[in-house]
Amino acid sequence: MADSSWYVKNDVKEELEIATGDSAEDTLLDNYGARVDRYIDNEISPHITTLPVTTSLSAVLKDAAIAGVAAKYRRKNKEFDTANTYQEEFDKLIASAIKRLRRDSETQSLRVTVTRPYASEPLASDS
Amino acid sequence: MTVTEVDYWKMKERIRDILQDDTSNLYNATASDKTKFRKVEAGAPDLNKPIQGPFPRIFITNDDRFDKMTERAVIQTRNHKATEHRMIFKIILVCDGKNGPDAEEKIDDFTKIVLEKIKNHNDLSVPTNNTDPLADLSFPESVDILNRELIGDKIAGRVIKLRVIATTG
């Protein structure tokens, strides 16, 4: 699997209430983003058998990247409660994505219904 | 008799406007570094936790008991004439640095600039044209550290208590 970019800087800035035009910490955020991207790739790559991932799964992983970068940023600023909340959200999103990637025929919610001719025989007692 | 009272929120917003007006020394919304405040906001921080980025930033809020009033009246007729308000607003400054001394130097420099700016607009008038004053007088009454636990830390904070005197009637 090729390296992926789940981190989107402006989405993270919006979450952290940093103005779009404020670039004072762009380098720091990009650094955190690269690390979170690598971690997400490490976590999901063993489970991805087909590419590209679906749009909704990609959205989940981008949400996870926001939470992951926000957790690192808040931790750096000593906002430990908020950082832990973001970390928990990150872990849950990654776990949910992996759960979805690992689904098999028994856990599939989408099933195919096939209509076939129904053959029956009279019961022995009816004959 | 119609009485017009003090608009506390408008005062906080005016203090914010005064601080945001100084874009050469104090504030830059599209900063590329941390030499100026990146956010200046009216209102207390979320959950009253001022240690939250992006740094450096300012919150403008009020003290616990922040307005003491003195009534003025004409003794013969008992007519209410005016109310003198003596208010205290808190200007909370927070910044970060490479280490403790660096953060302390930065917060001291920021405090100096903020004190100079608010003293230059001590009637809380519109900073761009000096109209619509909201106070008879305002002056910084004290500067406190934000939190003793931050002493020597790479995050530093100060609380400026701004005394504001205004008369309504």
Query: Is the model's pLDDT at B58 over the cut of 50?
Result: yes
* For range A47-56, the mean pLDDT: 74
Residue A78 to residue B31, Cβ atoms within 8 A: no
Domain boundaries, chain B: 8-168
pLDDT of residue B2: 74
- Joined together, the tokens standing for residue B40 give 């200046």
CATH says B8-168 is which class? alpha beta
In whole angstroms, give the CA distance from residue B45 to residue B42: 9
Query: Is the model's pLDDT at A15 over the cut of 80?
Result: yes
- Joined together, the tokens standing for residue B124 give 């809380």
* For range B61-66, the mean pLDDT: 90
B13 compared with A55, residue with greater pLDDT? B13
pLDDT of residue A122: 62
Percentage of chain A beyond pLDDT 70 is 76
Q: B16-27 burial, b for 16+ CB within 10 Å, e for fewer?
A: bbbbbbbeebbb
B48, B52, B149: best mutation site toward chain A, by most A Cβ within 10 Å? B52
* pLDDT-based confidence at residue A7 (cuts at 50, 70, 90): very high
DSSP annotation string for B100-150: HHHHHHHHHHHHHHHHHHHHHTTT---TTT--S---SEEEEEEEEES-GGG
Taking only the tens place, the pLDDT of each residue in B112-137 is 999 999 999 999 999 999 999 999 99
At B54, which amino acid appears? P
CB proximity list for B18: less than 8 A, separation 6 or greater = B117, B118, B121, B124, B127
B47 compared with B7, residue with greater pLDDT? B7
Taking only the tens place, the pLDDT of each residue in A84-126 is 999 999 999 999 998 888 775 455 555 555 666 666 666 666 5
Determine the residue of chain A that is closest to B30 in CA distance. A22
Taking only the tens place, the pLDDT of each residue in A30-45 is 999 999 999 999 998 8
pLDDT of residue A57: 87
Residue A100's φ and ψ, nearest 5 degrees, are -70, -40
Residue B30 to residue A19, Cβ atoms within 8 A: yes
Residue A77 to residue B31, Cβ atoms within 8 A: no
In whole angstroms, give the CA distance from residue B88 to residue B139: 10
Residue B30 to residue A22, Cβ atoms within 8 A: yes
Question: Does ipTM top 0.85?
Answer: no
Do the beta carbons of residue B122 and residue B105 sit within 8 Å? no
Residue B34 to residue A74, Cβ atoms within 8 A: no
Please tell me the distance in Å from B102's CA to the nearest CA on chain A. Answer: 15
In whole angstroms, give the CA distance from residue A53 to residue A70: 24
* For range B46-61, the mean pLDDT: 90
Chain A contact for B34 (CB, 8 A cutoff):
yes
Whole-prediction pTM: 0.82
Residue B101 Cα to chain centre, angstroms = 25
Query: Is the model's pLDDT at B169 over the cut of 50?
Result: yes
Long-range contacts of B103-110 (CB under 8 A, 24+ apart): B103/B153, B103/B154, B103/B155, B103/B156, B104/B152, B104/B156, B106/B56, B106/B156, B107/B156, B107/B157, B107/B158, B110/B26, B110/B37, B110/B56, B110/B158
